[in-house]
Chain A
């Protein structure tokens, strides 16, 4: 094979530095709950969690939680940020961003800083966001900004 043309594959094999850069993406270890696996109890992890099976109890991570299509969570969830494409029955408290895909089904209250809901997602529950409290005083302006008056909310 002396006269073989250098193909991309051979070039990659010859260049160790390049080959290192093309390492497989699934090299990182994180917690993965595979399909047909059932988790029961207080499920907590320090890293990212990917759920493809079912979880009952409670889920807690300070980082990212991904609930894949077909996954079922019957638990209260606390996470740094989350993306839901499966089913969640329980309250969700997300520090940063919560994203609901079109296949998501959420039955429970949601508390998140940022909420993104794709068309088709099903949600049954109360949504609350930090920065806008229920008992907050509403500032109403009268006239053209000349005089302001604080009014207690009627609800």
Chain B
């Protein structure tokens, strides 16, 4: 049995037609199921656990990167198969998973090509897409073997499924993209150097693939993981192998 978790933004009128088209295609394939709408404060894990008790086997997330991160960061430990129907803008994870945005995603879901995905573990919770440490004076220790530091502040981005986009400078029109690979987490470190009297300038990023790392700061620094913001002094990040059973496309990038 399929259960579909719709993001709240799909209530907007501009998404009405695409949602209708999705539902029609799913009915054609005979995989239509119960629809639940997520609100801002809905605990996805609780909802999914209840549905699993009622006999659900596949949970399908309908929305964008935020929805994907919001649901899976809480429900990663649930024993079920996950699917993803990307709708609307801000869908970068779908590309990595080889799922097209829009109605064609239903074809991928119906084929049920499954793969176990790795996810990130941070202090006491999981993150699926990206972890972002805002510029701060931090030191990064990799696999307890070597430490990386910068002279001034440093921004750290740890990517799991979401690709990392960066620009060399403000004049740089095109984004540089690095696609994460499975089996490792990628950390992108961008030190900031003082530019003139006021501003800061981002340096070229350093890239370190890793399985375990620690970010330590002398002062509390802000960490954002899958949209959840917290202040930390020390963050331990690990890779949890094969946690999520996910329906993916053939054109996946790992």
Interface of A toward B, CB cutoff 8 Å: 24, 26-27, 29-45, 47, 52-53, 57
Return B58 CB to nearest CB of chain A, in Å.
30
Once bound together, how far apart are the Cα atoms of A30 and B205, in whole Å?
A: 12
Q: Give the complex CA separation of A30 and B187 in angstroms.
A: 11
**Interface size classification for chain B:** 20 to 34
Query: A31 to B145, Cβ gap below 8 A?
Result: no
Cβ of B123 to closest chain A Cβ, rounded Å: 23
> B205 near A34 (CB under 8 angstroms)?
yes
Residues of A within 8 A of B148 (CB): 33, 37-39
Residues of B within 8 A of A (CB): 145-151, 176-181, 186, 189-191, 193, 203-209
The distance from the CB of A13 to the nearest CB of chain B, in whole angstroms, is 15
**A37-B146 in contact (CB<8A):** no
Q: How far is the CB of B157 from chain A (nearest CB, A)?
A: 13
* Chain B residues in 8 Å Cβ range of A31: 207-209
B51 to chain A, nearest CB (A): 37
Give 7 A-B contacts (CB < 8 Å), ordered by A residue. A29-B181, A34-B206, A35-B203, A38-B150, A39-B147, A47-B209, A57-B146
> B-side binding surface: helix, strand, loop or mixed?
strand
- Closest chain A residue, CB of each to CB of B192: A36
Question: In the complex where A36-B151, A38-B149 touch, is A26 in contact with B178 (Cβ < 8 A)?
Answer: yes
Partner of B147 from the list A29, A35, A40, A52 (CB cut-off 8 Å) is A40
In the complex formed, the residue of A with least CB distance to B141 is A41
Residue of B nearest to A33 (CB): B206
Q: Which residues of A contact B145 (CB under 8 A)?
A: 41-44
Min CB–CB distance A137 → chain B (angstroms): 43
Chain B residues near A37: list those with CB within 8 A: 148-150, 189, 191, 203, 206
In the complex, the answer to whether A27 meets B179 with C-beta atoms within 8 Å is yes
User: For residue B152, which residue of chain A has the nearest CB?
Assistant: A36
**Distance (whole angstroms) from the CB of A71 to the closest CB of chain B:** 12
**Among B177, B191, B193, B206, which residue has its beta carbon within 8 angstroms of that of A27?**
B177
Given A38-B150, A39-B148, A57-B146: A32 and B206 interface contact (C-beta under 8 Å): yes
A53–B209 CA distance with the chains assembled, in angstroms: 17
Contacts of B208 in A (CB 8 A): 31-32
Contacts A36-B193, A37-B189, A41-B145; A27 near B178 (Cβ below 8 A)? yes
Give every chain B residue within 8 A of A34 (Cβ-Cβ).
Answer: 189-191, 203-206
A29 contacts across to B, CB distance below 8 A: 178-181, 186, 207, 209
How far in angstroms is the closest Cβ of chain B from A67? 15
Which chain A residues lie closer than 8 Å to B180 at the CB level? 29
A36 and B146 contact, CB distance less than 8 A: no
Q: Which of B149, B150, B204, B207 contacts A30 (CB 8 A)?
A: B207
Q: Cβ of B207: which chain A residues have Cβ within 8 Å of it?
A: 29-32
A42 touches B146 (CB 8 A): yes
Instruction: Give the Cβ gap from B207 to chain A, nearest Cβ, in Å.
Output: 4
Q: A38-B148, A38-B150, A42-B146 are in contact. Are A53 and B176 (CB under 8 A)?
A: no
Closest to A27 in B: B179
| Distance (whole angstroms) from the CB of A7 to the closest CB of chain B | 18
A53 to B179, CA, bound (A): 23
- Is A32's CB under 8 angstroms from B205's CB? yes
Assembly CA distance A34 to B148 (angstroms): 11
